[in-house]
Structure 1
Amino acid sequence: MLPTPLRRRSGLRAVLSAACLLAISALAPAQEKLLTPDEVRRIDRENEFWRALHADEDADASLARLRRRGANAEELAWFAPRLEALWHIDVPREWGWLRPEQVAAIKEVDRAFVPRLRAARLRAATGIEIDPAHRGESLLLATSRWQRAVLRTLDYDQIGEFRLMNSPSAQRTARHFEDVPLTDDERRTIYDWQREFEASAGPDGRKQRAGQRDARLDHWRRIRDLIGDDRFAVYLASAEPKFARMHDALGEEIDAATALDAWWIREQFWGDYEKPRGFAVPTRAVAARAEERLRQRLGESLFARYVASPDAKWLNDFRLQVSGGPRKPGARN
């Protein structure tokens, strides 16, 4: 017979083991959720729909195909968003100075590869194969082959042009020009300048250090001179939401040139503020100079309306400092 301490320990282990088994059995159902019969039928039906599709047909033609095969309105309603998510292949292209025959050749390559990307997406998402000609082709491989096929349509000296017009830098810039009409030459020139700017400043100027705002203003000045104040103001309101807020604070009736000049004064102020300065040029002198320039450009009435708006916090905090009052925290931009 075991001594009493050993019997107690053995009994304790047995109790603990039983408790652990109960805990594990209680957790198992939560970790492994079983599908209901309705959910299983829904998945089977969805897979049946996928297998019936042809990758070279768009979403509308695909839904029509399923309708002809007996799918009802309710089934098509829940399947349509799934189809659109996999079937929509965005092919944004900028052509720049490419010749018409090269543009046509690239469009033909795009038409050939869109079905392959749809099939690759479906394969990755569900494991269902609807493109036997490219069985097992991954999405990454299909995309890589697409890019190489496009480049093969171009002459050697046109590859750089195509890459410029369709680079990540150009695509980022294009988003801000969606509502701005541009000629082909203007668009090509702006993309070239943006690539040059981002090479040193990074996307959206993120690599610029304090005191380097002048480079961004010079970049904007080139674009402003190229396309004029009205179109540039639309672009800048998209690229720089703070400019849009400043324009709103000045008033909708204020012309683009006035709003842009006011923004320039604001940006030049922050550029001067961030630059190293000796004790001979205190911050209050920089702020007072910016205020005087803004007052002269806007006139007394418009200046008074602007400084009364919340958007003028960048200026008002320094005006309080100049007049001897306490400066509020967070006075930036």
Structure 2
Amino acid sequence: MIRGRFAPTPSGLMHIGNIWAALLAWLQTRHANGQFVLRMEDIDKPRCRPELAEQALADLRWLGIDWDEGPDIGGPFAPYTQSERDEWYAAALDRLEQNGLLYPCFCSRAELLAVASAPHGLSEEGPAYGGTCRCLSPEEQKKRKAIKAPSLRFRIGEDHSSISFHDEAAGKQTFAADAGGDFVVRRADGIVSYQLAVVVDDAAMGITDVLRGYDLLDSTPRQLMLYEALSLPAPRFAHVPLLMGEDGKRLAKRHGDTSIAGLRAAGVAPAHIIGWLARLAGQTDVFKPLSAAELVQGFRLDLVPTEPFIIDSTAMKQLMRI
């Protein structure tokens, strides 16, 4: 049985871009008669708010997207809220450290941004790290720790020249393993990185299939390295195109109110939102109101277009008048 998931970050209201990924992940799982898990990724506590987590659950339910396990209903792999899972992350960090795969990094944000301004210094994952702190002696590490709390970086092995995997939506992918350099698994403020937390949680919860936005494709090689280093089974991945604003950037607040709460307040029915997204995803030939459940039986991932969608004022008007 496949196990899929949706894992929102409650740092803002859910918008149609979030629901796009949630709906496709849900349809993929339900079409295969699998189990769907909802996990709240609130590991970055200063950015996340409990009321937004509650709103996300309400938005998903309103749209007809349900789950078999989650923060509100529990399940065999609880807790389903990252802020309650620190012991799992600590255990993973201990294992990586015991295997000599971590080292402290004392580089400041300003130093890392300076690297980003250099030619080829910036990747989708941020500034490529040049390894400044990789070979510091124990004495030098101790000296610097007295001045600044370090982050922890994962040491990419020399045996990793490239990483290839088949993406269920984007096809075969190959990345240079060291394209972004050694990456952070715990920040200087003690917060565990997304890369580590998502690997630990997906493995612990038995997730077999991860469908998410194309913006996270570059994260996959790093996560695959962590799965291998922790001797954990990796899921299958599918990265779908994003909904973009007219400026060509990922849909966000600056593009106007596309939140589910805002659409609901404006009187847009849930079937209108689902039907609109279904047409974008190639699951129907025309825009028409549909429930999420009506799309399950005929769902086909291969029909989802591979190019991002520009959500302009015309597209929003179309949504409002279905």
Query: TM-score scaled by structure 1?
Result: 0.19
- Looking at secondary structure, tell me which structure has more helix per residue: 1
Highest relative contact order (Cα 8 Å, sep 6+), 1 or 2? 2
TM-score normalized with structure 2 length: 0.19
Larger radius of gyration: 1
- Greater share of residues in strand: 2
